[in-house]
Amino acid sequence: MKFKDKVALVTGGGRDIGRAVSLRLAAEGAKVAINYCNDRASAEATAREIEAAGGTAAVFQADVSKADQVATLVAGVQAKFGDRIHVLVNLAGGMVARRKLEEMDEAFYDQVMDLNLKSVFLVTRAVKPLMGGGGAIVNVSSLAGRDGGGPGASLYATSKGALMTLTRAWAKEFGPEGIRVNAVCPGLIGTSFHDIFSKPEGRAAVAANTPLRREGHPDEVADAIAYLASDEARFLTGVNLDVNGGLGFS
């Protein structure tokens, strides 16, 4: 029970990788605050699954790219679970759409960057004072942040690359307060993200070029996040951990 008596906030925690993270942290004893923006049904289903297994969870709606909604979210978590948040997983994000430069406008730029980067800034700024003299933050970046992403993903990749840099910067800034900041950088993981944005033949080609010859599973990302959030990783900070089956290194 690595997270017994601890409170964890997982943004985007209701489905896919977020669901797997919420379930894993709860199974290890955490009281899990599951944030969602639009998909309430998935968030509630994840919370019910946690409770059915004997864990504790609650769902909280918020668009985490909006400062006022983040403030309401954090206040709600405090009202439900108390004034301390021990673990923050910044997972909310997305590509929005695949677009070439000439297909982008300023509104699209703002939408992608706000969703993937501003949201992390806002939530971390709100949660950090509640971490006291310790705590763990795990950001969710992407292999795209290292290699520039696939066709039409330049802004998504840029936002995820910036998140990797922010992780390293905050690790240095927050370290004296005992707060660790790390990130995971998933490769091809079998989620609805790729169901929406990736063609089946493209996914098959990427899997074939991965040294482990398959897509990853959300549980495998959740395992890495749980490790980085736990005391087992107590001397790790500023790490951007690749969870990609060796993709990009072969």
Task: Supply the CATH number for residue 76's domain.
Answer: 3.40.50.720
Show which residues are catalytic. Answer: 156
**Whether 246 contacts 211, CB under 8 Å:** yes
Q: How many domains does the chain have?
A: 1
> Do the domain assignments include residue 78?
yes
> Do the domain assignments include residue 248?
no
> Do the domain assignments include residue 67?
yes
> Do the domain assignments include residue 245?
no
> Do the domain assignments include residue 77?
yes
Structure tokens, 21 = 């993270």
d(Cα 50, Cα 113) in Å, to the nearest integer?
A: 32
> Do the domain assignments include residue 169?
yes
For the whole model, what pTM was predicted? 0.94
Cα dihedral value 27, 87, 134, 182, nearest 10: 110
> Do the domain assignments include residue 27?
yes
Domain that holds residue 205: 7-239
Structure tokens, 57 = 């969870």
> Do the domain assignments include residue 179?
yes
d(Cα 167, Cα 181) in Å, to the nearest integer?
A: 6
d(Cα 51, Cα 4) in Å, to the nearest integer?
A: 15
β-pairing verdict for 87-90 and 7-10: parallel
| Per-residue pLDDT tens listing for the chain (250 residues) | 999 999 999 999 999 999 999 999 999 999 999 999 999 999 999 999 999 999 999 999 999 999 999 999 999 999 999 999 999 999 999 999 999 999 999 999 999 999 999 999 999 999 999 998 899 999 999 999 999 998 999 999 999 999 999 999 999 999 999 999 999 999 988 776 666 666 787 778 877 788 888 888 999 999 999 999 999 999 999 999 999 999 876 4
d(Cα 212, Cα 96) in Å, to the nearest integer?
A: 29
